[in-house]
A = this chain, B = another copy of it.
Amino acid sequence: MPPTLLVLDAEPLPRLGRLTGRARVEHADASTLAERLPYADVLLVWDFASHAVRDAWPGEGPRPRWVHTASVGVDHLLCPELTASDTVVTNARGVFEQPVAEYVAALVLAMAKDLPRTWEAQGRREWWPREGLRVAGGRVCVVGSGPVGHAIAGSLGALGLRTAVVGRVAGPGVHGPEDLDRLMARADWVVAAAPLTEATYGMFDARRFGVMQPSARFVSVGRGALVVEGALVEALSKRWIAGAAVDGFVDEPLGVGDALWGVPGLIVSPHMGGGTVGWRDELAAQFVELYGVWEAGGALPNVVDKGRGYVPGR
């Protein structure tokens, strides 16, 4: 009897054909997850926007021995019972790093060259040449020292920016939190790419936007709750900073009435930085590969430190 693989679905479903005969695949949604979890050996959280696991995780008794999430962040599924259990949690490290780094480079260059206003001017049929900013030689502070943060620093460094990476603790090529304010104060660009944990929740607040230069710009590709959104709006409206681009929000999707849509100087991106053509296939292929390791009793890669809330190391 093969193990039971429960998939928390989102559309479109992953292609798991290669697991035929190796797993009994069952499906759940938020309403059925709680009743099915006790009978599953493995849970694949394909719907990475769902908080259903946190709500449905059983307090005691049978539960999956392994949970894999098709995302980098794990804040949406960790709960005290899951953290305390011996269930192994793995994430999609390896799939999103380069796309997110390219997305950050796209946003930084678009802001430097003022492309949004060029499109507005095109819409008005107005020929409006302006001076752009040179990005090479500028300073960027990347907050987050995991593979996403390092990929971002790599891409921006390749474009000639001077990069500093800030992590939870200082290490080779990584500044500790004690350097954060000083680096933010010197930066032309600040990029938020840290995992959402108790230590990072709301870390970009009014005080931190206040130390930035008025000419500096802020980019966030992390979870929305890293940023105190009201403080960012205030920093933009008071011109504490020159602009911002955000790809993750506290409440997604943003509703049509959300004030964030219309904040001058704020680029609202609909949480698409990690999604490139073919990514669902890559995520499915990664899970199938990890399943083979788990099946054979091997040591899974990408194991989340549930206490810290992310996969340690680069």
Of A3-11, A103-111, A198-206, A299-307, the one with at least 4 CB within 8 A of chain B: A103-111
Contact A275 B129 (CB under 8 A): yes
Known pairs A110-B106, A155-B159; A125 contacts B261 (CB<8 A): yes
Closest to A276 in B: B134
- Contacts A109-B109, A122-B267, A125-B258; A272 near B115 (Cβ below 8 A): no
Q: Which of A109, A136, A256, A278 counts the most chain B CB atoms within 10 A? A: A109
A113 at the interface (CB under 8 A from B): yes
Interface string of A157-189 (1 = CB under 8 A from B): 011100000000000000000000000000000
Q: Is A133 in the interface zone, CB < 8 Å from B?
A: yes
B271 touches A129 (CB 8 A): yes
Q: Are A122 and B158 in contact (CB under 8 A)?
A: no
Which residue of chain B is the closest to A274 with respect to CB atoms?
Answer: B132
List 11 extra interface pairs beyond A102-B132, A134-B276, CB under 8 A: A98-B136, A99-B134, A105-B159, A106-B113, A113-B272, A118-B269, A119-B119, A127-B252, A127-B253, A129-B270, A131-B278
Nearest-CB distance from A113 to chain B (Å)?
Answer: 5
Decide: B134 and A102 in contact? CB cutoff 8 A.
Answer: yes
Known: A131-B275, A270-B128. A112 touches B119 (CB 8 A): no
Find chain B residues with CB under 8 A from A254 CB. 125, 127
CB contacts (< 8 Å) of A159 on chain B: these are 102, 105, 155, 158-159
Cβ contacts A to B, 23 pairs, < 8 Å: A98-B136, A98-B160, A99-B132, A99-B134, A102-B132, A102-B134, A103-B132, A106-B106, A106-B109, A106-B112, A109-B110, A118-B269, A122-B261, A122-B268, A125-B258, A125-B261, A129-B270, A129-B271, A131-B275, A131-B276, A134-B277, A158-B159, A159-B159
- Is there an interface contact between A112 and B102, defined as CB atoms closer than 8 Å? yes
Contact A98 B134, CB 8 Å, known A115-B115, A118-B269: yes
Chain B residues, Cβ within 8 Å of A94 = none
A116 within 8 A of B: yes
> How far does the alpha carbon of A160 sit from the alpha carbon of B99 in the complex, in Å?
12
Q: How far is the CB of A22 from chain B (nearest CB, A)?
A: 29
CA distance A205 to B272 in the complex (A): 35
